[in-house]
Amino acid sequence: MRAVVKNGIGVFSPQGFLDGNSSGAFLSIEDIEATLKLKNVNMILVSLKKVIFFNRNGLDTFVKMLTKVRTEKQITVGFCDYDYKKYEAIQKFYKDEFTFSLFATREIATLFATNYNKTPKNVLLYSEDKSQRSAMAIELHDNGHNPVVAQSEKDFNEKKANGKFDVIINNTYLGQMGQNVATRVTGNAIIYTLNSFLDAEIGHTFNIAYHNNSLNVGFRLFIFDAYKVISMNVHALNFFSKLSSAAAEYNATICFVGMNFNKTPISFKETMEDAGILFYDQMDDILGNKELLQELGAGTSVNTKNKRGLTKAIVSELPNFIEATVATLEMMTNAKAKKTAAEIHSLNIEHQEQKIASSIGYYGDLDGMIILVFPKNIAKKACELLIGEKTDDEELILDTLAELVNIVGGKIKTLLLDEGHHVNITLPRTYEGIDELLEVVNDKKGVQVDLTFENDEFLFFLTR
């Protein structure tokens, strides 16, 4: 079975009846590992939304697999999308042996996922277990939300009736959360979440290839969410100092937020500041200040270092890149594409108004960046299949466009693998306007392919 991956959460959705015979057929360790390899996933859940019957044997098979994955990969695992009856049954089956988390809905799980990239939510939460209430409140707060904790069921019902909350959390249980350095994207800033003690292990838990490619794709602001860091040793200090020096070559900024130096020598802070790292007390000090965001590079993404040329290997794979893009767009629009021109030059976009763009980076045996520029009407049409209806909601279209570009990236990955090239893809990035895109591309040369879909122009640009 394949998982649907969104916001860094991989969700498997079995349907029907789960028992000891069927659950092993629904999900395997290989399925989970394939999902983890696929994208930047740090939570694996099994949805019970479409499960009408389950028993202990059926869940046990899943729990064993999920626990193994959590131990090995340090990610959050559990179940989601259940009603009270199902929640009660799971509680009864496992009592005090919970090695996994329970999220009543996928939306609730998203609030606890470190890849979450939306606006802060006002959250009402209640659990009979006092320690669970506190644990959830801390996690939510750390993820930038505003939790209101109900102290009793009566209090919960009253607050629920009177208050205006974006999300209400009940029947949810937090098991052990992941320990890897998790990544999320907020606007054009990348936020990494750090935990507990930082030592030489950071070299393993931090995905440096992903970071480097985010620089290549044009991200210029990297924020380390360090609220939960207890202390740091000299190995970690060296790691971050080097990271900051490397980022400076791209004109990128590294910030630490919420780091306290009670158990870390204050001289480390000075060393890090010397390396160009900035410190802030609150995440909102940066994310809530648009001017500062611009100044730190989240708005302007001028690429000063990365002006690498296309390689022969990339050019020879160009047909695969184009095929993947065209096939995906044709699939999503049910329209045929025609290639009208293909040339090597800087990105040249005519009629820039009414166009939106997205990009995705790939790295591994080959590396580079693919940029797709859409007239808004093609973007809307292409997203209709995923959304299920026509929409003019720009934010929804941009979000869906990111999913679409993910599909293109996945297809490219498969086609390149057929040719023996192993690559991974970065998180997709979208651009509301062309100016923003041109700042990222910064006159870099690449292959530009102009295509038409039922007389609408569409542009593909491949660069490094």
Partner 1 sequence: MVTKKEIGEYIYKIPPASDALQQTLQFLNEGELTKAAQVAKEELALKAYLVNLVNKPIYGLKHQVDDISQIFGILGVSGAQQVVYHYMVSLLSPKEWKCFNLNETSFNSLQAELSAGWMDILQHLKIKNKEVESTIALLPASIIVAEALFRDKKQDVELLRENAEIDLNTILQRLCGMDLFDISAQIAQKWNMSTTIGALLLASSGSKKSSNEKVNLLSKWMHLLLFFTLSKPLYIQAGLNDFIEFNIEYVEDIYEDFQQVMDIS
Residue 417 found at the interface with partner 1 (CB under 8 A): no
Count of residues near partner 1 by CB under 8 A = 40
Residues numbered 434-453 forming contacts with partner 1, rule: CB under 8 A: none
**Residues in 52-71 at the binding interface with partner 1, rule: CB under 8 A:** 52-53
Is 234 one of the binding residues for partner 1 (CB under 8 A)?
A: no
Answer yes or no whether residue 102 interacts with partner 1 by CB under 8 A.
no
Nearer to partner 1, 349 or 415 (CB): 415
Can you tell me which of 1, 230, 313, 344 binds partner 1, judged by CB under 8 A?
Answer: 1
Residue written as tokens 């390899």?
Answer: 37
- The CA-based angle 411-116-191, given to 5 degrees, is 90
The site map against partner 1 for 359-398 (x = CB under 8 A) is: -------------------------xxx-x----------
As measured in angstroms, the least distance from the Cβ of 3 to partner 1 is 7
CB of 362 to partner 1, least distance (A): 15
Binding segment for partner 1 (CB under 8 A), chosen from 47-55, 125-133, 154-162, 356-364, is 47-55
Residue 22: CB minimum distance to partner 1, A: 5
Please identify, using beta-carbon distances, which residue of 286 and 383 lies nearer to partner 1. 383
CA atoms within 13 A on the CB side of 439: 18
Residues numbered 17-36 forming contacts with partner 1, rule: CB under 8 A? 17-18, 21-22, 24-26
Least distance from C-beta 337 to partner 1, angstroms?
Answer: 13
Answer yes or no whether residue 49 interacts with partner 1 by CB under 8 A.
yes
Stretch that binds partner 1, among 48-56, 223-231, 247-255, 447-455 (CB under 8 A): 48-56
Distances (CA, A) of 75 to 8, 44, 194: 11, 7, 13
Q: Which is nearer to partner 1, 2 or 307 (CB)?
A: 2
User: Among residues 293 and 337, whose Cβ is nearest to partner 1?
Assistant: 337
Assess 127 for contact with partner 1 (CB under 8 A).
no
Question: What mask, x for binding partner 1 by CB under 8 A, covers residues 289 to 328?
Answer: --------------------------------------xx
User: Which residue among 121, 133, 411, 421 contacts partner 1 (CB under 8 A)?
Assistant: 411
Q: Which residues pair with 450 in a beta bridge?
A: 341, 459
User: Minimum CB separation from partner 1 for residue 196, in Å?
Assistant: 32
Candidate segments 44-52, 196-204, 214-222, 312-320, binder of partner 1 by CB under 8 A = 44-52
Residues in contact with partner 1 by CB under 8 A are 1-6, 11, 13-18, 21-22, 24-26, 38, 49-50, 52-53, 327-328, 330-332, 334, 384-386, 388, 403-404, 406-407, 410-411, 414
